[in-house]
Amino acid sequence: MESFLKQLVQGKALLFIIVLGLGGSFQMGCHNTLISSPSPFIKRFINSSWTLRYGEAPGEGTLTLIWAAVVAFYSVGGLCGAMSIRCVLSRLGRNKAMIWNNALNVVSLTIMMTSKVANSFEMIMLSRFLFGVTSGLAVGIHSIYLGESAPKKIRGTVSVTLAIFTSIGKLTGQIVGLSEILGQEESWTILFCVPAFFSFIQMVTLPFFPEAPRYLLIEKGKLEECKKALQCLWGPGEYKLEIEEMQVEQATLKGQRSKSLLELLRDSRVRWQCLSVVILYESIQFSGIRGISVFTYSIFQEAGIPVDKIRYITLGIGFSEILTSIMCSLVIDRVGRRVLVWGGFGIMGAIMLLLTITLHLKDYDFWVPYCTVGLVFLFVISHGGGPAGVSMPLSHEMFVQSYRSAAFVLIGVIVWGSFAVFGFIFPFFLNAMKSFSFLIFSCVCLAASLYMFFILPETKGKTPLEIAEDFGKIRVCGSRTDTEEKFLETKL
């Protein structure tokens, strides 16, 4: 821990992590929680805008459709942004890609700020779509840029800061959305633009930081620039071990270009990595965390918590998520990735089962609803300290340089596509199945825990090439090879 802190302050690493986070995963976290607070004001604006334009109020169905589009366009934009990661990175590199992404965020901010003056709800839709595009790009670029800039020994600790900034973004969205701050009818356009104000800070400061060292050496072959980038971020030193590791990977790849998503999915050598990524992120999306994040108010209302106390409880959840992410960053390079992810999913599955019981017995006694609150806190802690914290460093480590951009395109498609689908189907689940809808999430978590325990290899302290070898040794259900090498035998 002491050596890690020393490394952070020897160079510009600490400032780099903060600046990158503000324009990276912070954006997605903040936008995820901003939407709930101003919803009544936006619906009233849509109603008045339509009435002024067409001379009559829109029907209930029309108003619902336009509001649904305002909500959904963010996810659609996020999906488009995520699918563009490889193309943008191959053309611009990591540093410039992030700067131009922030410029697009400023355009989105301008459109949102003028939508009220122009009396146009279409401009709100366009701005939400562009905010989604920038968020989808920001998360992928943030993760790749950060992972390719960190030394191997502390790569996990550094990469978990992505989850920390996501949590900070969620909490920021909740706080500024309070009626005492910006959650008012006259200020909802400013509220939507809060994330873009932070990205503006990144746009003017990021040019003072170097390009990712791994990108400079492995893809561009610039040894001296790579060494200067490492020294700028992490302080004086020769960094021989880090550079030798990069050169071995560079020699192995033999100048291969960055692969496309289709090439990634077709290559049998990375099939286990792709399967692990799909299971990891789909399990996170359908673990129940999205339901708790987006529909916390409904869940606590269903549990019988007084309405005036719910918003303060949700703020407490936001704080606990940040603290848990920080704790995960402190232990990930000691205990490893695998134990955190399978243990986290296992605990989450058990909590979801208990949550189903407490919601079903909410009228049994006065203390049962408060058990529900406690279980939600435990679930968020298990999520932040397990799968959520580990997912990005684990994903970065599983792929060599030529496959990494395509892998994050795949991750983006999973995350944003699942988010859109989940946001559509969960309200129906909640209305139809009530508390029993959480049983589905429990099954998903427990199944993911079994997969991670039996199949996923540990990646702590290993190079991407060593991790690829570990994945290549996986044999399932008694499959055999002709050699006598010692393989990772996995029997479910």
Residue-wise pLDDT for 310-329, tens only, equals 777 778 888 888 999 899 98
Same domain, 277 and 193: no
How high is the pLDDT of residue 200?
87
How high is the pLDDT of residue 35?
80
In a domain, 334, yes or no: yes
Same domain, 352 and 433: yes
* Six-digit token string for 234: 């992490």
* Six-digit token string for 148: 């390719």
Same domain, 39 and 155: yes
In a domain, 218, yes or no: no
Same domain, 269 and 160: no
In a domain, 236, yes or no: no
Same domain, 313 and 399: yes
CA–CA separation, 279 and 231 (whole Å)? 37
Rama region for 485: left / alpha / beta (φ>0; ψ in -120 to 50; rest) = beta
Of 174, 209, 244, the position where a domain reaches its end is 209
In a domain, 164, yes or no: yes
How high is the pLDDT of residue 311?
74
Same domain, 298 and 413: yes
* Six-digit token string for 380: 């968020």
- Name the nearest CA neighbour of 29 among 418, 321, 430: 321
- Name the nearest CA neighbour of 167 among 324, 372, 352: 324
CA–CA separation, 418 and 79 (whole Å)? 10
In a domain, 224, yes or no: no
Same domain, 183 and 322: no
Same domain, 15 and 102: yes
* Six-digit token string for 350: 């058990």
Same domain, 444 and 295: yes
* pLDDT < 50 positions in the chain: 478-492
In a domain, 48, yes or no: yes
Sequence-distant (≥ 6) Cβ neighbours of residue 156 within 8 angstroms: 329, 332, 333, 337, 390, 393, 460
Residue numbers of the domain that contains 410: 258-492
How high is the pLDDT of residue 298?
61
Residue 441 · residue 283 · CB < 8 Å: no
Entry pTM: 0.86
Same domain, 134 and 278: no
In a domain, 95, yes or no: yes
How high is the pLDDT of residue 309?
74
Of 175, 209, 243, the position where a domain reaches its end is 209
The total number of structural domains that make up the chain: 2
Say which CATH number the domain at 152 has. 1.20.1250.20
In a domain, 402, yes or no: yes
How high is the pLDDT of residue 241?
87
Same domain, 273 and 367: yes
Same domain, 174 and 56: yes
